[in-house]
Amino acid sequence: MPSPKQLIAAPLTAFLRAFDGARESLRRIVSFSSLAAQLRDQLPASTVVLGRQWVYGTRNIRFGEHTLLYPGCHFETQEHAALTLGNGCVLSRGVHLVAMAGITIGDGTMIGEYSSLRDANHAREEGVAMRDAGHTAKPITIGREVWIGRGVTILGGITIGDHATVGANAVVTRDVPAGAVVAGVPAKPIISREEKA
Give, for all 197 residues of the chain, the pLDDT tens digit.
Answer: 778 777 778 777 777 777 777 778 888 999 999 999 999 999 999 999 999 999 999 999 999 999 999 999 999 999 999 999 999 999 999 999 999 999 999 999 999 999 999 999 888 888 888 888 888 899 999 999 999 999 999 999 999 999 999 999 999 999 999 999 999 999 999 965 555 55
The kind and range of the H/E element at 169 are none
Q: Clarify whether 122 is annotated catalytic.
A: yes
**Catalytic residue, candidates 66, 74, 80, 122:** 122
Question: What pLDDT is stored for residue 126 in this prediction?
Answer: 87
Model confidence, pTM: 0.85
- Calculate ∠ Cα 96-114-78, nearest 5°: 5
Q: What is the DSSP string of 94-153?
A: T-EEEESS-EEE-TT-EE-TT-EEE-EEE--BTTB-GGGS-EEE--EEE-TT-EE-TT-E
Which amino acid is present at 131? Answer: R
What pLDDT score was predicted for residue 87?
98
159 sits in which H/E element? strand 159-160
Partners of 54 in the beta sheet? 74
CA distance 147 to 161: 11
Q: Yes or no: say if 152 and 133 are a contact pair by the CB < 8 Å rule.
A: no
Indicate the domain borders of the chain: 4-196
> Does the domain made of 4-196 have the CATH classification 2.160.10.10?
yes
SS (H, E, C) 9-67: HHHHHHHHHHHHHHHHHHHHHHHHHHHHHHCCCCCCCCCEECCCCEEEECCCEECCCCC
How far apart are the C-alpha atoms of 151 and 115, rounded to whole Å?
A: 4
